[in-house]
Amino acid sequence: MHIATDFTWHSRIEGRMTSDMEERWLKGLYQHPRKQGSFLRNSPLNYYRPKALKLMEEIFDGTLERKKQESVYVGLKRERGTIDVKGKIRHPFQITSRRAQSQITKVNDYLLVMGLGIVNEFYSLDGTPVEDLFTKRMLRAFATKWKPRSRDAAARICSMHEQSGEAII
């Protein structure tokens, strides 16, 4: 979302990019570490504290992408681009429920905090169509379907409720 809105904003402000630049932007949509980095940089929950710095390090050294791949796909271990064909087969059941819950909670926290911020006009995005996707109904669904929250997200949500005078979730 953030990469796409950046692309749209730059195109509106600076005009059409060269085909080489457009191709690089589009390729970026398929590079998971780039999307993960954009997610972290644009998150209202990112305060550059040790946890966020650790997550940033995991994004840029490829650890987060490897964790994601291991939690979704069955496969063999990879080391520096080569596949260990004699190694044990990994499968998603090997990841802990705590690690899976942590990853889901990060994304859900982001959606709740960003969405509440947009609905209550604490935050805005450059792309109005994206802002229109955040509705009170959608936020209630995110809040009720996934209960775990980080302390930072819970505090931010509470603060927005107090400031807006309206409890959305």
Where does the pLDDT of residue 168 fall: very low under 50, low under 70, confident under 90, or very high at 90 and above?
Answer: low
* Of the listed ranges 3-7, 37-41, 165-169, the one predicted with least confidence: 165-169
For the cut 90, the answer to whether the pLDDT of residue 54 exceeds it is no
Q: Rounded to whole angstroms, how far apart are CA atoms 55 and 157?
A: 22
Full-prediction pTM beyond 0.85? Answer: no
Instruction: Tell me what pLDDT residue 139 has.
Output: 92
Give φ, ψ of 74 to 5 degrees: -85, 140
pLDDT confidence bin for 61, thresholds 50/70/90: confident
Quick one: pLDDT at residue 85? 80
Which residues are CB-contacts of 55 (< 8 A; sequence separation ≥ 6)?
40, 64, 106
- The pLDDT, as a whole number, for residue 112 is 92
For the chain, list the strands marked E by DSSP: 75-76, 78-79, 82-83, 89-90
Residue 155: per-residue pLDDT: 92
- pLDDT exceeds 70 at position 111: yes
Least confident of 44-53, 106-115, 134-143: 44-53
Q: What is the DSSP letter of 92?
A: G
Write phi, then psi, for 129 (nearest 5 degrees): -60, -35
Tell me the C-alpha to C-alpha distance, in Å, between residue 72 and each of 1, 94, 96.
22, 10, 12
